[in-house]
Amino acid sequence: MEISDIKGIYKEVFKTYDHPSLEEHVQKIMELDAYLPYSSTFFCITNTKDLTFEYISKNMTSCIGLNKDLFTTQGMRYFWSRMHPDDVELWLQALNELMNFTLTEIPLEDRSRMSYTWNYRIKNAADDYVNIIQNTTPIEFDANAKPIIGLAHYTVLDSRIKMEICASAKFLNENNEYETMYFNNFSQKLLSDVVSNRERDIIRLLVLNYSSKTIAEKLNISPNTVDTHRRNILKKLNISSTGELKGILKMNTSII
């Protein structure tokens, strides 16, 4: 797929826009960035109307070896040009479905508490493809409450890790804990078809070694309901124990 084609499809997702004021956001993030240690994660402020990066953290170059000035001057078009060609169409599909889900399923007053995650591969300075897990939290919305400015974190993982293209949307609830509202595995839909969002939340907490009672308290459901979900999860995945479940997750992290 040509970069010009990507631009056209991408802009359809963000076709309504009222330009927000970013100065305060950018200034605060620049001040924070100066004190953050180097790591395998960098972050940007993304502008989906102008297809630009309003700010790029210092970690970007240490993570993928590229000069961040290229991203600043050439914007998202340059970023797309380095994406693995096999991932582009799945990435666009994920992006569109996340936006459609937000606009149709998430009330206006809740959209500022959403967080979105997806992944793809990108070519680094050595011309090797590395895995990128992108998590974006909206910080500005247009007149139709569509997210158009985001704070995006990019975690870089070794290319030898086999990752399927997945996307998820999570909501920060009143307990300041994220609930999975949407999940889709665009490379292989088996897990997303089999395991429900609520079951995925329970799996995540089981892996953290929480008891049924604690999980019930965190999810505001009864312990009996948790136990029912646990039995259904084991039955659906054809396994016999939580220990076996943890082993599966090591082989396929897309389930959570």
The model's pLDDT over 129-181, given as tens digits with 9 standing for 90+, comes to 999 999 999 988 888 788 888 999 999 998 888 888 889 999 999 888 889 99
Res 44: pLDDT: 92
For the chain, give the percent of residues with pLDDT over 70: 82
How many Å apart are CA 223 and CA 216, to the nearest integer?
5
**Is residue 111 very low, low, confident or very high in pLDDT (cuts 50, 70, 90)?**
very high
Helices assigned H by DSSP within 167-219: 190-194, 197-207, 212-219
pTM, to two decimals: 0.68
How many Å apart are CA 181 and CA 115, to the nearest integer?
10
For the chain, give every residue range classified as CATH 3.30.450.20.
Answer: 3-187
Dihedral-angle region of residue 67 (phi above 0 means left; psi in -120 to 50 means alpha; beta otherwise): beta
Res 190: pLDDT: 45
Cβ atoms of 3 and 81 closer than 8 Å: yes
For the chain, give every residue range classified as CATH 1.10.10.10.
Answer: 188-256
Highest mean pLDDT of the ranges 15-29, 119-133, 221-235? 119-133
**143 vs 254, more confident:** 143
C-alpha dist (Å) from residue 76 to 22, 49, 54: 18, 11, 11
CATH homologous superfamily for 3-187? PAS domain (3.30.450.20)
Res 185: pLDDT: 79
* Fold held by 188-256: Arc Repressor Mutant, subunit A (1.10.10)
